[in-house]
């Protein structure tokens, strides 16, 4: 390898960028929820990270199936979980088509607490005498700072604070993905230096006990100094994408569903998935 670091992560797809209820919210007629701009329509937060012909999804929220269909995903190496909240877990049952297509179990990388939640919520997938047609899964343990390989990529789990919960963010190469944080411990901050891309949660302008507000997220983004920061896990209270984006400092963007980041010889570039190209004005 000639001492040079091998970069295997080559693409990131924002599968969903919305908070737990998604945007629009059922029954809400605010300016964001009734916006015709597709960037204001946010499925529950998740990303796909792609290597050389491989793909890993972070979290399987309630919109996992819709996200796989929207982006035309036909293969998946595994799932990496941040935490056990329903908006990050509820879609796990839909790994079944990948079981059939790939003829193998799906590897789920989960902390002890996330495994407990998976075993509780999807108990039928873990029964000794399994019924046919249930998800075929294999759990691999996630522990703080214990790097693992998945999809040819090098994943480093970083402890993150989410209200009363200790959850995980991940660093992969020169990119980090942090969602549902309201604080980042010092030892994790040390591992978030020198990033090209930081994906960070920002819920809304006002403070919240378990999520960074927009001002807090901007403070973290400035302190970490990644080349570009993309904000995710966004509430309808954030405002319309177009209005908020105009006010953001250089090097910070609101993510939106279908936004794609691709590594090129010049660095990371923004693209849009075919779905988004069709729907953006
Ligand atoms: Zn969440
Ligand atoms: Zn609304
Ligand atoms: Zn959460």
Q: How far, in Å, from the CA of 23 to the mean position of ligand 2?
A: 7
Span 252-278, mean pLDDT?
89
Domain ranges of the chain: 11-271
Which helix (H) or strand (E) segment is 136 a member of? none
Q: What is the pLDDT of residues 109-139, one digit of tens each?
A: 999 999 999 999 999 999 988 888 999 999 9
Q: What is the pLDDT of residues 192-249, one digit of tens each?
A: 999 999 999 999 999 999 999 999 999 999 999 999 999 999 999 999 999 999 999 9
Spatial distance between the Cα atoms of 35 and 13, rounded to a whole number of angstroms: 23
In three state form, how does the secondary structure of 83-99 look? CCCHHHHCCHHHHHHHH
Which helix (H) or strand (E) segment is 221 a member of? helix 214-224
Q: How far, in Å, from the CA of 27 to the mean position of ligand 2?
A: 8
Q: How far, in Å, from the CA of 113 to the mean position of ligand 3?
A: 13
Supply the pTM of this predicted model: 0.95
Q: How far, in Å, from the CA of 4 to the mean position of ligand 3?
A: 37
CA 202 to chain centroid? 13
Q: How far, in Å, from the CA of 112 to the mean position of ligand 1?
A: 18
- Helix/strand/coil percentages in the chain, nearest 5: 25, 30, 45
According to CATH, the superfamily of the domain at 11-271 is Ribonuclease Z/Hydroxyacylglutathione hydrolase-like (3.60.15.10)
Average predicted confidence (pLDDT) for the chain: 95
Span 70-74, mean pLDDT?
95
Q: How far, in Å, from the CA of 24 to the mean position of ligand 2?
A: 6
């Amino acid at each position: 390898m000639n001492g040079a670091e091998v970069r295997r992560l080559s693409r990131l797809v924002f599968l969903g960028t919305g908070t737990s209820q998604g945007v629009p919210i059922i029954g809400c007629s605010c300016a964001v929820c009734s916006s015709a701009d597709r960037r204001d329509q946010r499925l529950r937060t998740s990303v796909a990270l792609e290597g050389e012909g491989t793909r890993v999804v972070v979290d399987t929220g309630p919109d996992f199936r819709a996200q796989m269909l929207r982006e035309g995903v036909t293969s998946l190496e595994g799932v990496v979980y941040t935490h056990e909240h329903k908006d990050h877990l509820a879609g796990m049952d839909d790994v079944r088509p990948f079981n059939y297509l790939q003829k193998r179990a799906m590897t789920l990388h989960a902390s002890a607490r996330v495994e407990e939640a998976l075993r509780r919520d999807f108990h039928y997938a873990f029964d000794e005498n399994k019924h046919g047609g249930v998800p075929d899964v294999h759990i691999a343990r996630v522990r703080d700072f214990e790097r693992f390989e998945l999809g040819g990529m090098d994943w480093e789990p970083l402890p993150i604070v989410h209200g009363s919960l200790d959850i995980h963010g991940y660093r992969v190469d020169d990119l980090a993905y942090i969602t549902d944080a309201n604080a980042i411990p010092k030892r994790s901050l040390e591992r978030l230096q020198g990033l090209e891309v930081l994906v960070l949660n920002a819920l809304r302008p006002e403070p919240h006990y378990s999520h960074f507000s927009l001002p807090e997220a901007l403070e973290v983004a400035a302190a970490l100094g990644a080349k570009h920061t993309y904000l995710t896990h966004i509430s309808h209270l954030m405002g319309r994408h177009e209005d908020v984006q105009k006010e953001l400092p250089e090097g910070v963007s609101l993510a939106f569903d279908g936004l794609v980041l691709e590594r090129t010889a010049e660095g990371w570039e923004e693209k849009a998935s075919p779905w988004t190209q069709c729907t953006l004005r």
